[in-house]
Structure 1
Amino acid sequence: MRVLFTSFPGRTHFFNSVPLAWALCAAGHEVRVASGPELVDAITRSGLTAVPVGSAETLKEKTQRVMEEKEYGSVERWQALASAPQHRLAGGRADSSEWADLSRLYDLAITPGASLMNDSMIDDMVAFSRWWGPDLVLWDAASYAGAVAAAAVGAAHGRVLYAHDTDTEMRARLLRLKAEQPPGDRRDSLQEWMTGWAGKYGLEFSEELFTGHFTVDQLPPSFRIDTGLHYLSMRYVPYNGPAVQPEWLWSTPAVPRVLMTFGLSVRDWSHQQVMSVGRLQDTLDAVADLDIELVVTLQEELRDQLSRIPPNTRIVGFVPLQCIVPSCSVAIHQGSPGGFNISLLYGVPQLMFSIAPDAHLKSRHLHRTGAGLAIAPAEVTGTAIRDALVRLLEDRAFRDGAHGVRQEILGQPSPGDLVPKLARLAAAHRR
């Protein structure tokens, strides 16, 4: 079987699929990974074969260009414009203004984001697929270029989720509300964008271009949103690039170890950074008297802006999460898929403050399972973090809750277990 993985050039999105790609290779299947040229090095360093598609313009350059063309001013400004309806909708509100809010969210954020991440790759991806002939295309859930390429060559295709399936949930709400509107007021900017690309290759528009034939979900089954789609449960396996186990992690810590990590994506995208240097300094000062070993992942230029580093704090530029999280008593993070999922996998209580689209769901699940705590980004202070951290360290119920989620995860199929199922689905859906 020939399997094509596709991802827009975002490292963390690609990393999310690497263990499944390895499993398919190990089972004897041919695997290729198509993405923008800027991701080629990350793909090849993972041991997989890269297929560069699209322009050499980086994702960051594209984003800046779109900001200027649409006169948003900056990524931060764009995010602020789009987040107002998104935050209102996160609570599940349904009233007369919901259609207007959803339409605005699609017009300002979802459709421009889909276009920005996919447009430059689609032609090349279809051309490669027509030559190589994949049987199955597995696409990162934001990388619709993979769905178009699969449909163009009759391949089976499925999404690989990196977080909760909020896009499908929101799309279902939009379609329901759209059907209730007068015929002249049913604008669907995302459908219009996809219809244009589908028509270019002689395809009819279908919602399947947004959902795939099936979806691989790496969250614990009890965390899943019920959208009525076909989900394949797969155990999360951590991968965050080439890894080296540092020597200081070769022994058990003498005091509770606490990790504070801001993830890989925020290194290049400052608007995703919830904690400013000032807030970080306030946090370090607030926990300086605790009998802990606080490990903070922080790039050098931000470390240099700190006024003080307490004796109980170690600043590191990068440490592989799978190397450090198992030794931690608490993990503090910004709600990235890596930080959230790896803490669940190893049964480590977590403290999250996040602006991610599914932050409300992650917070709800942490509360329901007792696996951790969440602080709203606007309420992040040194005192708030200290209070939550002390609770997580002292109350054994959080360790029990985190352990319960870990047991659920260990019961999920491994990437290797999923391979025969993918082969059957490919045979069933390919034309």
Structure 2
Amino acid sequence: MRILFTAVPAFGHVLPLLPLAKAARSAGHEVALQTHPSMGEAAPSIPLLPAGPSVAETLADVAQRTSSDPMQDMLRFAVEFFVETRLTSGAQAALATAREFRPDLAVAEMSDYLGQFVAAALGVPWVAHGATLPLIEPLAAQFDLRAIAKFGEHGVTPSAALAYVDPWPDSLIRAGDRYPAPRVPIRPEPHEGEGPAWTRAPFPGREDRPTVLLTLGTVVDDPEVLRRAVAATCALDVNVLVAPHTTEDLANPAQVQVAGFVAMRDLLRSSDLVVSAAGAGTVLSTLAAGLPMVLLPLGLDKPVNAERAAAAGAAYVVTDPAGISDAVAKVLNDGAFRAAAQRMADEIRAIDSPAAVLTKLIAGLR
């Protein structure tokens, strides 16, 4: 079977697809990833079909059309970003590369309307793959209405997904969460990368201290927030591992290591606690590893992600970088946070693996 995976070109959108894509490849299926070439480093062994604008190009187009800065209020401009610009700029190229690949099944990351467009245009069954929690109802309706209009410009009618592959564990789902297709849970797996595993360098004379992983995501809109977060964490007698950011002035060899872009699985193996901006991928990966968190939600879906992790007892939420120091101390000293995180890890381990989910999806096509 030929399976096309598609995603918005950002690590938080691409990485959640990779466990299922790799499971498909291991099972003997031919797979390809359709996205912007800037994502080639995410999975260099999977053929990349270039399609759609980069994130920078998309932001620039939205800013030009709306005379606004979409990064200041992404929720307000989400439809313009994910539907209008990406379909206007990328529909024809995406269709051309997909037609050449001739997929039997498409797996589209939940917000990638290029993937949905390609599936509908080619008459190929498709599956939605969650990254974050499902869109709230009013926003989902706006996305769908705009998609109908944009698809219609090419004489294409949107088609319904066969399933919605969801990496969120059952205990973090709420009654108000609405899925656009039958939900199929999948075990979230931290990104493991390709090639040799990364190993943290020693902290000379400090190996008995806890190691705190500080990551504010792959895009930091406010370097000052990052600087303050590092300073607040360093106020404690802990080792600090900063990733993926590579700002040189953060490096203090005695207490701080700057890891750069490293597979999350390797980072988590070297850490005792994670401080993050509450991106969905980081939250789920950290829970899968059974580690407690301090969360500083920075826009978009992140406050909701933080609320779910905190409700499970596995995270402490702060609203300002200045609060990180006290929060880290509290979480390190209160074993209840780690115990809750380990309960979440047990729940996640019981969810179907990507290989098992792949078998279910293929069976659903027959």
TM-score, normalization by structure 2: 0.88
Q: Distance in 2 between matches of 1:202 and 1:298?
A: 42
Q: 1:296 aligns with which of 225, 242, 248?
A: 242
Q: What is the deviation of 1:51?
A: 1.3
Q: Which residue in 2 is equivalent to 1:179?
A: none
Instruction: Tell me if structure 1 keeps the 8 A contact 2:297–2:306.
Output: no
Shift of 1:316: 3.3
Q: How many Å apart are 1:276 and its aligned residue?
A: 4.2
Q: Name the counterpart of 2:235.
A: 286
**Contact (CA 8 Å) 2:42, 2:193: kept in 1 or not?**
no
What is residue 51 of structure 2 aligned with on the other side? 53
Which amino acid in 1 is paired with 2:359? P
Distance 1:365 1:9, change over 3 A: closer
Residue 280 of structure 2 aligns with an amino acid whose one-letter code is P
Q: Aligned partners of 1:299, 1:132: CA distance in 2, in Å? A: 36
Determine helix, strand or coil for the equivalent of 1:248: coil
Q: How far off its partner does 1:138 sit?
A: 0.3
Secondary structure, counterpart of 2:184 in structure 1: strand
Question: Deviation of residue 61 (structure 1)?
Answer: 2.9
Residue of structure 1 equivalent to 2:212 = 258
1:214 equivalent among 157, 163, 166: 163
Q: CA offsets, 1:16-44, max 9 Å, x none?
A: 211111100111111111112333x3266
Cα 1:139–1:325 shift into 2, 3 Å: same
Residue 186 of structure 2 is matched in structure 1 by 234
1:204 to 140, 157, 178: 157
8 Å contact 1:122–1:148 — kept in the other structure? yes
Structure 1: runs of 5 or more not aligned: 84-104, 175-187
Deviations 1:168-222 (A, max 9, x none): 53446x5xxxxxxxxxxxxx5x44532233324433356x3xxx22111111122
Give the match for residue 34 of structure 2. Answer: 34
1:373 is paired with a residue of what secondary structure?
A: strand
Cα deviation for residue 274 of structure 1 reads 7.6
Output aligned runs, 1:378-417, within 5 Å: 379-381=320-322, 384-417=323-356
Q: Distance in 1 between matches of 2:158 and 2:303?
A: 32
Confirm or deny: 8 A CA contact 1:15 1:240 kept in the other structure.
no
- Is the contact between residue 372 and residue 398 of structure 1 (CA under 8 Å) also seen in structure 2? yes
> Structure 2: which 5+ residue stretches go unaligned?
none
Question: RMSD of the alignment, in Å?
Answer: 2.8
- Larger mean Cα displacement after TM superposition, 150-159 or 121-130: 121-130
Secondary structure of 2:290's counterpart equals: coil
Q: Give yes or no for contact 1:31–1:49 (8 Å, CA) kept in 2.
A: yes
Match of 1:347 among 286, 290, 293: 290
Q: TM-score, normalised by structure 1?
A: 0.75
The alignment of Structure 1 onto Structure 2 pairs a total of residues equal to 361
Q: Tell me, what secondary structure is at the counterpart of 1:265?
A: coil
Distance in 1 (CA, whole Å) between partners of 2:89 and 2:269 is: 40
1:275 counterpart residue number: 225
Structure of greater Rg: 1
- 1: CA distance between counterparts of 2:307 and 2:120? 36
Name the structure with the higher helix share. Answer: 1
The answer to whether the aligner puts 1:316 opposite 2:282 as a matched pair is: no
Moved more, 242-251 or 397-406: 242-251
In 2, Cα distance between equivalents of 1:234 and 1:136: 18
- SS of 1:155's partner is coil
Residues 263 and 338 of structure 1 are in contact (CA less than 8 Å); yes or no, is this contact kept in structure 2? no
Asked if structure 1 preserves the Cα contact closer than 8 Å seen for 2:212 and 2:275, the reply is yes
Which residue is equivalent to 1:114? Answer: 83
1:133 to 93, 102, 106: 102
Cα displacement (A) at 1:111:
3.3
